[in-house]
Chain A
C-alpha cells in the first residue's frame, strides 16, 4: 500500500511561564492509503498536539513545531507557504474535534458552516454548495436535512453536531481524515453510531484515517495500525492484532491490563501506579521508568530508542535492547 503521509522526527514545543515543554518529541510514523492509524495514550501525552502540528494549527507565539518533516503526498507540510497549506487544510486533510458542542460557530447557520469549505476548495457557487450541504447532512444520517441546514448549533444535540462536523470534514473528499477523540464527549450508544459512520465513509471513499483516542475499545474496533504515545514519545507501535495479543512495552501492557474485560468482574480495576511525569522535568531517562515494574538502572539514565522487536512491532524499551548496550 502506498504511503500518503510520512512523519519524520516531528517535535513540537510550547512556551509556558515555567519553561519550554516538549509536547511532541522527535516522533516518526507513516499513514498508508486506506489505513486507519490509531494514536493511543493518556491525556497530555501529545496525541492532539501531533494532530494540530499536521494541520498547521499550532499557534505562535504560544508554541511551535520545532523540527522534523511531515511529508504528505510528496510535499513537506512544514515547509509549505500559508496559502498552499490552507488549500490542503479542509480539502485533502480534514479534521474533526473532541467537543462537537463548541466546535461550531454559535451564530452561523449549520448549512452555511458546511458550505464554507465547498465554496473555498471546490469553488462552488452558493446555490450548488447549499444543495451539496443538504445532501451531506442527509448522508451523515440526519433527517429533515433542509430544516437542519437552517438551524443554529445550539438547537442540535451533541451527537448530531458531531455528525455535522463529519459532514464538514468529508465535504471535500479528503485523502486523510484526522479524528481527535471524536466520541469522547458523546454517550456510548452515539459513540458506536459515529464510529460506524466513520468506518463506512473510510471504506467507501478509500481515505486514510488518523484516529486519536484513549479508549482501547475504540482502537480494537477501528485500528489497522496502533501507535502508543507516552510523554511526547512513541513507546510502541504495531499492527493492531499483534499489539493487543503481544504487547511489548510495559506501558502498553499496563494500558491493556487496566481495561475492564466483559465477564471478568474484578473488585478493583488495575491501574498503572504513579503519574505521568511533569513535562517540564523530563531528564535523560526512560520517561516511564518510575512507574515501571521492570525498571533497571539504565532506564533512569538513558532514553531507549524505538527498535524492531519482531512481528512488525517496534518498542522503545531497554528490555529489548541488545545486551551490549547496557552500561
Chain B
C-alpha cells in the first residue's frame, strides 16, 4: 500500500508538471493579452504595461517565473481584479461549493433511491415514468430549464428570487441571512439536480439490474432473507462499487463552479468569475483556475482508487 502510494504521488507530480506546461503555453500562446483589448491605451503605454507585467519576456522564461511563484504558494496576480488569484478563489469558491455540495448530495441520494426502485420494479409503471422523465430532463438544455423556472417561479408567481445570493441591499445577519441564502439557492440547486439526476439514475438503475441477476442474490433469497435485506445489504453494496469512479470526478466539480448556472442565476461563484475573466483575457486568473482544477482532478482520481481499496475486498493496491 505505501509503495503504491509513493508511486502514485510521483506519477501525480509528473502529470501535474505536464499539465502546468500545457496550460501555461496554451494561454500564453493565444493571440492577444489583457492589454491588447484596452482601446483607451496608446501603443507606448501598452508596451510600458507589458514591460511592467513581464508579458514581453519569452514564454519559457515566463513559465519558469510562474512555476517558481507557484512553488512559493503564489498562483499569480489577477490583472483585471488587481488582487492575488488565490484570494479571489477564496472569495468566490465557497459560494460555488455551497451550490455544488448541496445539489451533488441531493442528486446522489435521489438517484440511488430512484435507481434502486426502478431496477427492482423494472418495466413497471413507476420505472417507465422515471425513464420518460429522465429523458425529458436530460434532453433539455440547462439554460432553458433555468430561464423557464425563473419565468414561472420567480417572475410570475414571485415565490423565489430570480438570482443573486442575497437580496440586493440586504444586510441581514445570522438566521435571517441563512434563510435568505437558502431562498436564493433553491432555484439553481433544483436546476442542477434536475440536470445531474438523469444520467446518474440511469447509471444506478443499470448497475442494480446487473447485480440483481447475479447468482449471489439468488443465494440470498434462497436463505430466506427479507427482500429489504437482499436489496440493501446484498445488492446495493455491489451496485454502488462502480460509482466510486464517479466520486473521483465529483471532486473537481464540487469546487469548479458551474459556468452556465451561475451565469443564469447571477450567483457570485467561481464559474461566473471565470467567464468574466475570459472576456477580459485575464490570463493569470484563468491559468491559476485551470491548474487548480487539474490538481483537484488528479487528487480525485487518487481518492477514488483508495476508496476502491476500502470498499471492495477484491481490490489490492
Which chain A positions have C-beta within 8 A of B229? 116
Which chain B positions have C-beta within 8 A of A108? 233-234, 237
Q: Known interface pairs A61-B123, A106-B238. Does A90 touch B222 (Cβ–Cβ under 8 Å)?
A: yes
Q: Is the CB of B225 within 8 A of A97?
A: no
Which chain B positions have C-beta within 8 A of A102? 214-216
Q: Determine if B276 is an interface residue (Cβ-Cβ < 8 Å).
A: no
Complex CA distance for A97 and B222, rounded to whole angstroms: 10
Q: Determine if A5 is an interface residue (Cβ-Cβ < 8 Å).
A: no
Which chain A positions have C-beta within 8 A of B40? none
Which one of A81-89, A232-240, A260-268 is at the interface?
A81-89
Which chain A positions have C-beta within 8 A of B222? 55, 57, 89-90, 94-95, 97
Q: Is the CB of A154 within 8 A of B314?
A: yes
Q: Which of A94, A103, A116, A154 contacts B225 (CB 8 A)?
A: A116
Complex CA distance for A168 and B216, rounded to whole angstroms: 13
Complex CA distance for A310 and B288, rounded to whole angstroms: 92
A74-123: which residues lie under 8 A (CB-CB) from chain B? Answer: 86-91, 94-95, 97, 99, 102-108, 116-117, 120-121
Complex CA distance for A70 and B229, rounded to whole angstroms: 27
Q: Is the CB of B313 within 8 A of A154?
A: yes
Q: Mark B217-234, 1 if CB is under 8 A from A, else 0.
A: 011111111100100011
Q: Determine if B312 is an interface residue (Cβ-Cβ < 8 Å).
A: yes
Q: Which of A104, A120, A154, A165 contacts B224 (CB 8 A)?
A: A120
Q: Is the CB of B241 within 8 A of A107?
A: yes
A interface size (C-beta, 8 A):
28
Q: Which of A61, A99, A116, A154 contacts B223 (CB 8 A)?
A: A116
Q: Is the CB of B224 within 8 A of A88?
A: yes
Which chain A positions have C-beta within 8 A of B223? 89-90, 116-117, 120, 168
Q: Determine if A152 is an interface residue (Cβ-Cβ < 8 Å).
A: yes
Q: Which of A86, A90, A99 contacts B215 (CB 8 A)?
A: A99
Q: Mark B84-115, 1 if CB is under 8 A from A, else 0.
A: 00000000000000000000000000000000
Main secondary structure of the interface of B (DSSP, over half): helix
Complex CA distance for A99 and B238, rounded to whole angstroms: 19
Q: Report the nearest A residue to B214, measured CB to CB.
A: A102
Q: Mark B225-258, 1 if CB is under 8 A from A, else 0.
A: 1100100011001100100000000000000000
Q: Is the CB of B234 within 8 A of A117?
A: no
A143-165: which residues lie under 8 A (CB-CB) from chain B? Answer: 152, 154, 165
Central interface residue in A57, A94, A99, A103, by most chain B CB within 10 Å: A103
Give B239 Cβ to nearest chain A Cβ, in Å.
11
Q: Is the CB of A117 within 8 A of B224?
A: yes
Give A87 Cβ to nearest chain B Cβ, in Å.
7
Q: Known interface pairs A57-B218, A61-B123, A107-B313. Does A86 touch B238 (Cβ–Cβ under 8 Å)?
A: no
Complex CA distance for A89 and B226, rounded to whole angstroms: 11
Q: Which of A86, A88, A97 contacts B226 (CB 8 A)?
A: A86
Complex CA distance for A72 and B292, rounded to whole angstroms: 67
Given contacts A108-B233, A116-B223, A168-B219, 14 further A-B contacts (CB under 8 A): A61-B123, A88-B224, A90-B224, A90-B225, A102-B214, A103-B215, A105-B216, A106-B238, A107-B241, A117-B223, A120-B223, A120-B225, A154-B314, A168-B223
Closest 9 CB pairs of A and B: A90-B224, A89-B224, A90-B223, A102-B215, A152-B313, A105-B216, A117-B223, A103-B215, A95-B222
Interface, chain B (partner A; CB < 8 A): 123, 214-216, 218-226, 229, 233-234, 237-238, 241, 311-314
